Amino acid sequence: MSQGIFADFDMFAFSRQAFLFRRQPFEIKWPEGAFVRCGLPFVRNVAGFLKPTTVFIQRFGKEARRNVLELDLDIIASLCIEGEISLPTLSESVDIQGYVIVKFKEHYLGTALALEGNRLLCRFPKAMRQALSRLTLR
């Protein structure tokens, strides 16, 4: 993604997550005692690696210029049911050994983890895995 996309945002880290928050023309003072959270979870620290969140990918995935994997519905269903699939063309499509964006048509679904040996591991939230494994379209 181009860095310019984030020019209007500030990034805050709380615990093991970073949040993307719309930049304000005034200095944000955190309300004492009442503050819960601000902005959209953006990346999460997973075992020392930064994993983009599903909600971030769904909103900003269209800005990605590489590591976007467009899959057919039946392959997505297999990925959701099996948790891991082998894609013979994976290494030609994306950088191996990292998180990649999965999309179906114009819908950005979330992330998967690409590993050597053309292995693709599902990293969708559970509810989405269940929905995608049973999805039929008219």
Partner 1 sequence: MSSYLDTLEEYRDLIPEFHEFLEHLRKPLPVYFRINSLKTDLMKAKAFLKDEGVDFAETPIDEVVKVLHHDHQRPLLSYLLGYIYPQAISSCLPVIALDPRPEETVLDLCAAPGGKATYISQRMQDRGFLVANDRKRGRITPLLSNVKRLGITNTLVTQGRGEHLLLPYSFHKVLVDAPCSGQGKYRIDPHTGLVKYMVKGKTNLSAIQKALIKHAFDMLMPGGVLVYSTCTLNVEENEEVVEFLLKKRRASLAPLDLPVEYEPGITHFRGKRYHGQIRLAGRFYPHKIDSVGFFVAKIVKG
Q: Which residues bind partner 1 (CB under 8 A)?
A: 9, 20-22, 24-25, 28-29, 31-41, 55-56, 58-59, 106-107, 109, 125, 127-128, 130-132, 134-138
Q: How far is the CB of 14 from partner 1 (least distance, A)?
A: 12
Largest CA-CA distance found in the chain, in angstroms, rounded: 54
Residue closer to partner 1 by CB (options 52, 90) is: 52
Cα(129)–Cα(45) distance, integer angstroms = 22
DSSP string, 68-102: EEE--HHHHHHHHHHSEEE-TTHHHHS-SSEEEEE
Q: How far is the CB of 54 from partner 1 (least distance, A)?
A: 9
Residue closer to partner 1 by CB (options 21, 64) is: 21
